[in-house]
Structure 1
Amino acid sequence: MRKGRKWTLVLLGAAAVLLVPWMAVLAVTLPGTTRVHHWSLAWIGLDVLLATGCATTALLGLRGDARCRLTASATASVAVLDAWFDITTAHSGNALLQALCCAVAEGVVAGVCVALALAKGRGRVESS
Structure 2
Amino acid sequence: MRKQSYEKQLAGWTLLLLGMAVGAVAVALKRWTLVFLGAATVLLVPWTVMLGLTLPADTEVRHWSLAWTGLDVLMAAGCAATVVLSLRGRPAARLTASATAAVAVLDAWFDITTAPAGSGLAQALACAVGEAALACVCVFLAVNDRRSRT
TM-score (normalised: structure 2): 0.79
Normalized per residue, which structure has more helix? 2
Residue 91 (structure 1) aligns with: 116
Supply the RMSD in Å over aligned alpha carbons. 1.7
How many residues are aligned here?
Answer: 125
The separation in 1 between residues aligned to 2:34 and 2:136, in whole angstroms, is 26
Map of 1:110 onto structure 2: 135
For 1:94, the aligned partner's letter is S
Greater RCO, CA 8 A, separation 6+: 1
1:34 paired residue among 34, 37, 59: 59
Give ranges in structure 2 of 5+ residues lacking alignment.
Answer: 1-25
SS at match of 1:2: helix
Within the candidate set 83, 90, 110, 1:65 is matched to 90
Q: Residue 43 of structure 1 is aligned with which of 68, 73, 86? A: 68
Q: Among all aligned residue pairs of Structure 1 and Structure 2, give the percentage whose two residues are the same amino acid.
A: 62
Q: 2:79 aligns with which of 47, 54, 64?
A: 54
| 4+ long deviations beyond 4 Å | none
Unmatched segments (≥5 aa) in structure 1: none
Offset, 1:120 = 2.2
What is the CA-CA distance between 1:97 and the residue it aligns to? 0.6
Larger radius of gyration: 2
Instruction: Encode CA deviations 1:39-66: one digit per residue, 9 max, x unaligned.
Output: 0000000000000001110111111111
Distance in 2 of aligned mates of 1:38 and 1:125: 47
> Which of 69, 81, 106 pairs up with 2:106?
81
Q: Does 1:11 align with 2:44?
A: no
TM-score, with normalisation over the residues of structure 1? 0.92
